[in-house]
Amino acid sequence: MKLQSLSIGTFNLYNLNEPNLPIYSNKNGWTSDQYKLKIDWTGRIIRTLRPDVFGLQELWHAESLRRALTESDLAEAYDVVVPEDANGTRIVCAALVRKGLLVGEPQWIVNFPEAFKLHSSGDDPQTPSINVSIRSFSRPVLHFQIQPRDDHDPIHVYVCHFKSKAPTAVYREAWYKSNQDEYKHHSNNLGAAMSTIRRTAEASALRFLLTLQMKGTRTPVIVVGDINDGQHSNTANIITEQPRYLVGDSRGGGDNSFYTAQTLQEYRNTRDVYYTHIHNDIMESLDHILVSEEFYDNSKRRLWMFDGMTVNNDHLNTDDHATDGTNDHGVVCATFRYRPIKAEARAIVSG
């Protein structure tokens, strides 16, 4: 196989579960009518965009995904990458991968790396110690490999879904209940801080795994998903390591860096029009496609060149997504053309 173009998408499925199964505190879940609308809309999105790889978040039940894929009339075109125990009782990350691309076995990473630590006694005498004891991802990270060209090594793909900005429900905790008068006016503050700490730890743990794989290697890597934070947030910065974006003569590229499709698209636009989520009338970009230097236009080790990005987000204008089957996130797709940097350009750079 020698693909000349590779398209990657990320799609938050908005609690895709079988009808009448519980979703969080909603014991009844989707009604049969709501479910039909949701399957129809999800199938239309798949049929419209048709990326080679679709990273998926907020899937509860494998059968619901397969039903949506059948509805798209593309069931024969894709391998469904989903855990065997995706039976509607928990949220998982999944993927649709065009047949012929998938190599090896997928894995769902639950635990943080054993050597990973967030502990410090402080940078100076005025800084108190810190110790974060989180040891696993809220939503297991999906990791698999694809091989769009048999003349190059496989590409590693990670699908992630980090803790949301919604405040953690501290009112359930024993310490809160024991002194409600003290804490009742602080629950949003404390809950938001805990969500931020958890999301930051998840980003750092994934970055730890990525560095182990990327540092000092020529391994191409793509990370997609709902990181529940923006393009220039600390969450995103931890994963990308904030590389420099160079315009010009292919002298850039960082061995351990990630480049956002959003920034690559901004080079091709006169302004930023990217948003994938609306909360309290604030438009944000929470869903991202991040690529290693092998996909960065100006990298001296480029294999694939960015060829554009689309964001399907008109449905975010709907307030009640249950009434029309839509989801509450925009769907992002990016395309890359196979265009390795030429040998003579490499010689100029190395010289």
Q: For 319-337, give the DSSP string.
A: S-GGGTT--SS-EEEEEEE
Q: Is residue 273 part of a domain?
A: yes
Gap between the terminal Cα atoms of the chain: 33
For the segment 69-100, what is each residue's pLDDT rounded down to a tens digit?
A: 999 999 999 999 999 999 999 999 999 999 99
Ranking 42-46, 117-121, 280-284 by mean pLDDT, the lowest is: 280-284
Q: Is residue 46 part of a domain?
A: yes
Q: Is residue 129 part of a domain?
A: no
Segment 124-142 shows an average pLDDT of 95
Residue 267 pLDDT: 79
Tokens at 340, concatenated: 């390795």
Segment 262-275 shows an average pLDDT of 74
3-state secondary structure of 110: strand
Q: Is residue 181 part of a domain?
A: no
Closest CA to 114 of 196, 220, 199, 212: 212
Number of domains into which the chain is organized:
1
Q: Is residue 237 part of a domain?
A: yes
Q: Which domain covers residue 24, as residue numbers?
A: 5-112+137-168+201-350
Closest CA to 69 of 34, 89, 99, 25: 99
The sign of the torsion formed by the CA atoms of 195, 239, 113, 103 equals positive
CATH number, position 72: 3.60.10.10
For the segment 158-204, what is each residue's pLDDT rounded down to a tens digit?
A: 999 999 989 999 999 999 999 999 999 999 999 999 999 999 999 99
Q: How far apart are CA 155 and CA 218, in angstroms?
A: 10
Residue 263 has pLDDT above 90, yes or no: no
Q: Is residue 126 part of a domain?
A: no
Cα–chain center distance at 52: 16
Q: How far apart are CA 276 and CA 323, in angstroms?
A: 20
Q: Is residue 320 part of a domain?
A: yes
Tokens at 187, concatenated: 């629950």
Tokens at 100, concatenated: 């012929």
Q: What is the pTM of this model?
A: 0.93
For the segment 291-337, what is each residue's pLDDT rounded down to a tens digit?
A: 999 999 989 899 999 999 999 888 778 778 888 999 988 899 999 99
Q: Are strands 5-16 and 53-61 parallel, antiparallel or unpaired?
A: parallel
Q: Is residue 182 part of a domain?
A: no
